[in-house]
Amino acid sequence: MVDKEKIAPTLVKIGILYYKLERYAEAETVYLEALELYKDLSTKFPDVYLSDVALTQYNLGILYADKEQFVKAETVYQEALEIYKELSCKNPDVYLPDVAMTQNNLGFLYSDLKSYVEAEFTYLDALTIRKKLAAEDPEIYLPDVADTQNNLGILYWNLNRFSKAEHAFSEALKIYKELASINPDIYLLNVARTQNNLGVLYDDIEQLTKAEHAFGEVLNIFEDLSIKNPDAYLSDVAMTKNNLGALYDDLERFMEADTAYQEALDIYTKLAKQNPDTYLLDLAMVWYNKACLESLRDNKDKSIEFLKKAIELDITCINDSKTDKSFDNIRDSKEFKDLIGD
């Protein structure tokens, strides 16, 4: 006789292991086997096993979302959500966090599907629950509030609702800074990531002074983190210097832009030697930006030289350069036309 009570949790553990190993087909198979066992058990003992049904469906949702099987992901997330909502009516202290967690993941899914109205409603529902939980236990649930605020910021940014995006990012940043003051090792990175989102947002809406301030704070954090752990954070230092370079371009502070790009280039060159598959495209991006800068400074030869380096690393730079206004100063030159194939 099959001992379902012992086999089901073992299958879930195996599914999680396969998922971590990116053996997704095998993970799906064992998750589905576990789900059937838990569903069968829950018909007899719902108070004991319904939560296991929901959790297994939630795990399947994560798996399907990663595989971009969005319809399947939505189905199992919704099934998990309905169970968690039912359970939370009887025991909110235990299951309301699961309701919010599932809604947050559904928000991600709807954003990927470009179902933005559904994404907003789902995120807002999750945020309402998480704020309520955080009011009672801030140490545990404030990070979840910040996470959902950050997700809302990204959603509003994609919808060009910049005022709401700024508000959401700012709320997330305020929480992360509060948490980082108590536990910097865990939350400083969240501060930097959210501050970076604000910096890019300000750059997009041409609030360049605010953008410079935000990127400056981001750079300070990443430089401090990279001293302790260069393998983890040097790439973030380079990314932020590249962002600052682009900002200085917009401000026509070309010497500062040149310095920032060169520092980013030096870091990415070093990283690309160690891990070319990860960093060659970043290296191409900085060469491309340096080419744009030299064109803006009317240095045709340098611009062509740097653009050629970018194209050698990433052929898509050809298409970008065809419409990039930064190259207007050299667009009519024979060298530029020969390089991009016009």
Domains, the chain: 1-90 (1.25.40.10)
Q: CA-based angle 57:58:61, to the nearest 5?
A: 90
pLDDT attached to residue 340 = 87
Q: CA–CA separation, 75 vs 118, rounded Å?
A: 14
Determine the pLDDT at residue 321. Answer: 92
First to last CA, the chain: 73
Distance from C-alpha of 58 to C-alpha of 61, rounded to nearest angstrom: 5
pLDDT of residue 341: 82
Residues 6+ apart with CB under 8 A from 311: 284, 317, 318, 339
Structure tokens at 105: 């993941």
What pLDDT is recorded for position 242?
95
CA of 64: how far to CAs of 35, 67, 137, 209, 240, in Å? Answer: 15, 5, 32, 42, 33
Q: What is the pLDDT of residue 3?
A: 75
- The stretches in the chain having pLDDT less than 50 are 1
| pLDDT for res 231 | 92
Structure tokens of 152? 């809302």
DSSP 326: G
DSSP tag of 115: -
pLDDT confidence of residue 32: 96
Rounded distance between C-alpha atoms, residue 248 and residue 251, angstroms: 5
Cβ contact 199:214 at 8 Å? yes
Q: Per this entry, what is the length of the chain?
A: 342
Please tell me the distance from the alpha carbon of residue 253 to that of residue 293, in angstroms, as a whole number.
10
